[in-house]
């Protein structure tokens, strides 16, 4: 059983990820083009959000998403809150999860998977405890166990518990379940925002 699990993680899943991502990118290319044009018009030509994130074994890569927020700043030069910078088109793209489409490129490059713990900010790396660091034992994903169990509406501690649980129980059947549950959640638009926020507050470490 352990051998088949390792084979799934190291050979089968990466192949399925890249093959499926390539097909999905071809199919989604009209949507990709339309969203790009709308974002360019309503967000001053800024289409993509590119940021360094830690991946498998905390290796740093550049994650790419559709940009859903403007770069508006206050009088002191600081960025306004996420909620104030979120445009109407950005809100729609985020609600329908279309902002994740460019990450198909990350999957094709082998930096991400469809299923796995979400790649978070590099600045969080020193804040994890030993158990939470286990989330980097697998390739990060577009969606995962934490995303179908609350996404941005659950606490950071709960989210990390779900991530580590996934690392310890990863399998083809579990990934299949997460895919179908993700589709269900996208149609219901659940868990997108934390309470009183457009996304979720930053992780500030463990108490």
pLDDT, tens digit, 9 for 90 and up, residues 46-87 = 899 999 999 999 999 999 999 988 877 878 878 777 778 888
For the chain, list residues with pLDDT below 50. Answer: 1, 192, 196, 198
Q: What is the pLDDT of residue 63?
A: 97
Q: What are phi and psi of 35, to 5 degrees?
A: -65, -40
Cα–Cα distance measured from residue 63 to residue 120, given in angstroms and rounded to the nearest whole number: 10
Q: What is the pLDDT of residue 1?
A: 45
Q: What is the pLDDT of residue 189?
A: 62
User: Residue 26: enclosing H or E segment and its boundaries?
Assistant: helix 13-27
| pTM for the structure as a whole | 0.85
Tell me the pairing of strands 60-66 and 48-54. Answer: antiparallel
- Dihedral angle sign, alpha carbons of residues 133, 137, 142, 148: negative
CB atoms within 10 A of CB 170: 20
């Amino acid at each position: 059983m352990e051998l088949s699990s390792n084979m799934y993680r190291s050979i089968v899943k990466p192949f399925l990820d890249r093959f499926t991502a390539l097909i999905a990118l071809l199919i989604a290319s009209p949507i990709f083009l339309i969203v790009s044009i709308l974002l360019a018009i309503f967000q001053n030509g800024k289409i993509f959000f590119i940021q360094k994130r830690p991946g498998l074994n905390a290796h740093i890569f550049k994650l790419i998403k559709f940009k859903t927020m403007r770069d508006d700043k206050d009088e002191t030069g600081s960025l306004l809150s996420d909620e104030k910078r979120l445009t109407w088109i950005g809100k729609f793209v985020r609600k329908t999860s279309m902002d994740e489409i460019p990450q198909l490129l990350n999957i094709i490059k082998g930096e991400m998977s469809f299923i796995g713990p979400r790649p978070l900010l590099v600045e969080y790396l020193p804040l994890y405890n030993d158990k939470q660091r286990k989330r980097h034992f697998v390739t990060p994903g577009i969606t995962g166990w934490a995303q179908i169990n609350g996404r941005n509406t659950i606490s950071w501690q709960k989210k990390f518990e779900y991530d580590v649980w996934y690392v310890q129980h990863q399998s083809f059947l579990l990934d299949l379940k997460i895919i179908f549950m993700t589709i269900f959640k996208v149609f219901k638009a659940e868990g997108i925002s934390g309470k009183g926020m457009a996304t979720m507050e930053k992780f500030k470490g463990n108490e």
